[in-house]
Amino acid sequence: MTGLTSIERDCVERAMAAQGAMLGQVGTWAAVNSGSRNLGGLARVAGMIGDAFAVLPGDIRLVDPAPVDAIDLLGRPNDLPHGQHLHLTVRPEAPLQILLTGHMDTVFGVDHPFQALSWLDAGTLGGPGVADMKSGIAIMLAALQAVEASPAASSIGYEVVLNSDEEVGSLASEALLTQAAQGKRAALTFEPSALPDGTLAGARPGSGNFSFTVRGKSAHAGRNPEDGRNALLAAADLALRLKAAVGPSLSVNPAKIDGGSPNNVVPDLAILRVNLRPATIADQIRAQALIDASVAEVAAGHDVAISVHGHFARPPKPMTPELEALFGIVRQAGADLGQSIGWKSTGGVCDGNNIAACGVPVIDTMGARGGSIHSMEEYLIVESLGERAALSALTILRLAAEAGR
C-alpha cells in the first residue's frame, strides 16, 4: 500500500482484517433461500442482516414495500407481494452525504435445485447469492465499520438501502431509492464486479418491461372466422413491429405471448411480454414513441383493443463527467492499494440506473469478484472480500477529504 495517510492506512487495515467475519456472514446469509418471491426467506435474511448492521450508529428500520401489480394470464392486474426493505440513516447533518445500496434477494426460488454452498477450491466458494450479492452486503458492512472506527467518521453521513426486489426490477423499492438518493454527493452499490478480474461496470442501458393486453373477438374458426378479431395475430404483429426497431442503441426482446384459444376458435385474448433496453434517454424517448405508434397502428389494423402495462423502470445510466470523476477517485484508491481498477460498459441494469437518474454519480459494482451469477455455477473469489472492503472504505474516506477541502 502506497500513498496512504496514517488514518487511511488504519482504516484499510481494519477493513481487510474483517475477511473472516465477512466470509462467515456470506455463508450464513446465503444458506437461507431469499428468492425474490420467497417472502418468508426474505424476512429471515432481513432479520439476520438487520442484526448485523445494528452495530452501526443511526436509525435502522424495516420499510414496507410499495404496492406493485402485474398482468395475469387473463389480462387482469393483480397485486404482487414483495418483502420489506432495510433502511439505515447515519449522521444526516454531516458535511458529506453518500448512499450505499444492495439487495437481499436472489434469482433462485424456494423450489430451485441450486440451494447449497460448496467449496470449488480453497479460495472459491460456490452457492446461490454468494456473489450476487450476500458478499456485497458483507463488504459494505465491513467498510462502514472500518470508517466508523476512524477519526473521520464524524464528517461522514450516509444512508443504506438494502431492498428485497432488485432481481425483479425494484418496483417495490423504487420510491425508497429515489428518496434516499436526494442530496447525496455520490453512491456506491455493491453488485459483484462486472468481470472476475474486478472490472467495474460503467455505462448501462435503461430497461423497460411491458405487457400488452390485446382483446379481440372470438368466432368459429370454420363457420365465420371473418366475424372474429384475432388477438393472437395482432400480438404477433405488434411483436414484429417492435423487434424491427432493434439497432445499436435499442434492443427489443419480445419474450412471451400468453393467451390464445383452441384451434377451432378465433382467439380473443393475448398478452405480449416485451423487454426494451435503450442506450440513452433520447433512445428511451424514441422507444416510448415506437410503443405508442405501434400499439395505435396494430389496434387500428386488426380492429382490436390494446392496453399497455409497464414503464422504463431502469432509466439509462450514461457516463457523465461526474461519474468519470468518481471513477477517478476509486481508481486512485485502488492503485494505492495495489489493485488495478478499470471499467467497461455493460448491457445489464441494476439499482445504479435509478440512482444515476436522480443526478447522483454511482459506481454500482463495488461488490466482490466472482462470476456465473444467475446460474447454478455462481461463485465467489474469497480473497476479494478484504480487497473490496478496503477499496470501499478508502473511497469513502477520500470522498470525505474532498468534501472537507
Q: For position 105, which CATH number holds?
A: 3.40.630.10
pLDDT-based confidence at residue 326 (cuts at 50, 70, 90): very high
Query: In this structure, are 88 and 151 located in the same domain?
Result: yes
Query: In this structure, are 328 and 273 located in the same domain?
Result: no
Domain boundary among the residues 271, 287, 314 is at: 314
Query: In this structure, are 238 and 371 located in the same domain?
Result: no
Query: In this structure, are 364 and 240 located in the same domain?
Result: no
Residue 299 placed within a domain: yes
Query: In this structure, are 162 and 183 located in the same domain?
Result: yes
Query: In this structure, are 236 and 376 located in the same domain?
Result: no
Q: What is the mean pLDDT of residues 312-320?
A: 97
Q: Which three cell numbers stand for residue 189?
A: 452499490
Query: In this structure, are 70 and 216 located in the same domain?
Result: no
Structural domains in the chain (count): 2
Query: In this structure, are 46 and 87 located in the same domain?
Result: yes
Q: What is the pLDDT of residue 405?
A: 74
pLDDT-based confidence at residue 88 (cuts at 50, 70, 90): very high
Query: In this structure, are 363 and 304 located in the same domain?
Result: no
Domain boundary among the residues 291, 314, 337 is at: 314
Residue 198 placed within a domain: yes
Residue 216 placed within a domain: yes
Q: Which three cell numbers stand for residue 138?
A: 458483507
Residue 79 placed within a domain: yes
Query: In this structure, are 175 and 305 located in the same domain?
Result: no
Which residues, in sequence order, are bridge partners of residue 265?
A: 220
Q: Render pLDDT for 230-254 as a digit per residue (tens, 0 to 9).
A: 999 999 999 999 999 999 999 999 9
Residue 224 placed within a domain: yes
Query: In this structure, are 296 and 325 located in the same domain?
Result: no
DSSP secondary structure of 205-236: --EEEEEEEEE-B--BTTT-GGG-B-HHHHHH
Domain boundary among the residues 293, 314, 335 is at: 314
Report the distance separating Cα 151 and Cα 383, nearest Å.
27
The average confidence (pLDDT) of the chain is 97
Query: In this structure, are 118 and 57 located in the same domain?
Result: yes
Domain that holds residue 220: 207-314
What is the phi/psi pair of residue 151, to 5°? -60, -20
For residue 31, pLDDT beyond 90:
yes
Report the distance separating Cα 8 and Cα 170, nearest Å.
35
CATH number of the domain where residue 248 is located: 3.30.70.360
Residue 1 placed within a domain: no
